[in-house]
Structure 1
Amino acid sequence: MRENEISREIVDAAYKIHTGLGAGLLESAYEAVMAYELQKRGLRFERQKPIPIVYEGIHLGEGFRADLIVENLVIIELKSVEHIAPVHKKQLLTYLRLTNKRLGLLINFNTDLIKNGITRIANNL
């Protein structure tokens, strides 16, 4: 499975979750339900994976935790906020660069329509 196929499954799962639960829950609740949906779909993922910072060839410890990394290819950053800020997109792009991954999905569940809450971020390696 490549990034685009995986992202289609993730978007479909987000739609199902948003339809079933609606907006207004904490990010941690959406993360738990997303993990359940990914597992049902047979996708491998890691949850809250620590990612080290490597600067000038030196590992400086944990830099951030990825909400979900699916099939070791796609990073999912989950939000439940009033508005996605430009910093959220920059944050995910930085995560992609630090992990040498090409695709990330920023999903904000606090929207009336989930299609308005999904942003695809690509890292042009």
Structure 2
Amino acid sequence: MKSQGEALSRRVIGCGYEVSNELGAGFFEAVYEQALCLELKQQGLAFERQKSLEVGYKGHVVGNYVADIVVENNLLVELKALSALTKEHDAQVMNYLRATGLRVGLLLNFGTPRLGVRRLVWRHDDASII
């Protein structure tokens, strides 16, 4: 049986493919973000766009990040429109997961003819890409 988190990931990835198939590669990231938000809304998914994330240290805020999209208060989605993804992009998503306490993040890259999808899972001190 698939977990609720996996089902949500699949739905959001499906929305990403819909956007990618419709728009193709070549636009700025903001275009894909807007289109994905429209698709998420059509699918009836609750989301926050450009969500500010605070990084805490011993009870103090020591930094801020801005996540592209957080879906259903459960899934972090980071968008790119690049020719290739690097380990630094994976690290960015992992840092966002650590900052929010969320477990799962998607890294969607619209910069290539076929949508690039990475699903990252934060397990406290162990990080993995699924």
Give the equivalent residue in structure 1 for 2:79: 78
Other-structure match for 2:59: 57
**Structure 2 portions without partners, runs of 5+:** 125-130
Name the SS of the counterpart of 1:42 in structure 2: coil
Q: Are residue 44 (structure 1) and residue 57 (structure 2) matched?
A: no
Q: 1:106: which partner in 2? A: 107
Match of 1:118 in 2: 117
Question: What is the percentage of aligned positions where both structures have the same residue?
Answer: 36
SS in 1 for 2:123: coil
**d(CA) in 2 for partners of 1:40, 1:112:** 24
> 1:3 maps to which residue?
5
Q: C-alpha distance in 2, partners of 1:80/1:23?
A: 8
TM-aligned CA deviation for residue 2 of structure 1: 2.5
Residues in 2 aligned to 1:10 and 1:93: alpha-carbon distance in whole angstroms: 18
- What count of residue pairs does the alignment treat as equivalent? 122
TM-score by length of 1: 0.93
Matched AA of 1:120: R
Which moved further from structure 2: 1-10 or 35-44? 1-10
In 2, Cα distance between equivalents of 1:48 and 1:120 = 19
Deviation of 1:111 after TM superposition, in Å, equals 1.3
* Cα distance in 2 between the residues matched to 1:20 and 1:34: 11
Q: Which runs of 5+ in 1 are unaligned?
A: none
Aligned-pair distance for 1:113? 1.5
Structure 1 Cα separation of the partners of residues 38 and 4 of structure 2: 21
Matched with 2:128 is none
Once residues 11 and 111 of structure 2 are traced to their aligned partners in structure 1, the CA distance between those partners, rounded to angstroms, is 20
Alpha-carbon distance in structure 2 between the residues aligned to 1:53 and 1:97: 9
Counterpart residue type for residue 106 of structure 1 = L
TM-score, normalising length: structure 2: 0.90
